Structure 1
């Protein structure tokens, strides 16, 4: 895994800032939380079909053997199980017990922006109503065959992200006719100097036209102007967007291990 050029100490400090931001964001956007040893369950009963909004986050030392049973207790009311582990050593220790309990494991890479700051990209802030149509279309593309109820939940759950950070913005690039072509979330906490860019998506009809770059550049510049010196995003370890982000000045500094079970 690539590390930032200014050394392992800086990399570790940046990674701890990202972990802290992710943990705080997850807590703040939840309708309710349930504490467990080494972490907590973040629950949003309004969007019970959303795994991202109903999960266990392990952000401290825990008992790996006891974790599956503890997850079962706090997520028993849900049709799914989702556990995210921030520390790689803890994740490795939990992998065996969770696998025996039927969980599959994937890695999400944490990518820190270390490249030159772009000029303001040209995207603009929008509200959820402007994104409902494009979001629904994209979810049907990514999850073919899912029902309308699931798509509705995945679209509307964006409402709770407003409370996840001190400053949450939805950014979008538009085509020449004013249609939303690409969009992303920007979560900022200027008090701690950290910003996360999340869910950068381009409508299928606008792929390859540069709109994603416009949104990304705008998010980076906006975060920098707000005083956020740590600017990061997440990407699936084995998916192509990771390489695209690398070409735009991002480097991998760590990962979050995601364990899921139906």
Structure 2
């Protein structure tokens, strides 16, 4: 899931100016982000299978999670585009879904014809980097918490988003967050509570000192708690905790959160592609 900030878009006339990054800096940062994402996917998996141009990740505990059961093309080499649908059927054949994530824009565009012909839905995404260099502003701050605090709120929100989904699917999609604890050297779950203690918003923060990067992911404000600045609180806290690292996020290319993040100092440095279809 991509970040879905909890605040509505602000008027266009309040968009702040953010200076562009130098081309060489953008290219190097995009390559580092690709390495981060590939490493994050591998570290969560219970089983991986390498193939030319990428690898498959599988997690037996959460077969309903596409994030944890998919092919990942990591730009290590150009894959055989025409062979990808059959490869996905082979490696993901026991699952009800097929998912292929392509971390490189050029390779993703090259894969599009073959995967579209095979019935895959294309979901383009953008990688956005924080140009504020970690300036968190004055607060207020979100709190760090454990999964025991977050899971009830996440399950309630998933049920609202997916009212027809089986209870087992909702359970897996909530509890899969436990796998993310292995994804990076530092994994923090952030939450904002209302004065009565109700969990109103949450986000993940993944930090890799080895790569000098941090990612904010799954920024969500629960229904009934929007328009209260919770998204800004989560973002400010992530900037504070990620100080000294380049902070980035991934957003759907054609959805409104992309513009919300742009107004808060994030700029596009790269593109990735996700291809999804149900098993035949």
Scaled to the shorter chain, the TM-score interval is over 0.9
After TM superposition, the score normalised by the length of structure 1 is 0.95
Counterpart position of 2:108 = 91
Moved over 3 A (4+): none
CA distance in 1, matches of 2:57, 2:93: 13
Structure 1 spans left out of the alignment, 5+ residues: none
Task: Return the alpha-carbon distance in structure 2 between the equivalents of residues 237 and 75 of structure 1.
Answer: 26
Name the counterpart of 1:144: 163
Instruction: From the two aligned structures, give the one with the greater helix fraction.
Output: 1
Query: Does residue 258 of structure 1 match 2:274?
Result: yes
Q: CA RMSD in A?
A: 1.4
Q: After superposition, give the CA deviation of every residue in 1:144-195 in whole Å (9 maximum; x if it has no partner).
A: 3212111100001000000000000100111111211111000001122100
2:263 to 232, 247, 259: 247
Aligned partner of 2:10 in structure 1 is: none
SS of match in other structure, 2:190 = strand
Residue 186 of structure 2 is aligned to residue 167 of structure 1: yes
Unpaired runs of at least 5, structure 2: 1-17
Residues 204-241 of structure 1, C-alpha deviations (whole Å, 9 max, x = no match) = 121001111111110111011xx31x110111111111
1:118 corresponds to? 136
TM-score, length-scaled by structure 2: 0.89
- In the alignment of these two chains, the number of paired residues is 257
1:180, 1:104 → 2: CA distance? 34
Does the alignment pair 1:180 with 2:196?
A: no
User: 1:50-77: per-residue Cα shift (whole Å, max 9, x none)?
Assistant: 1011010001221111121111111111
Select the structure with the greater relative contact order (CA < 8 A; seq sep ≥ 6): 2
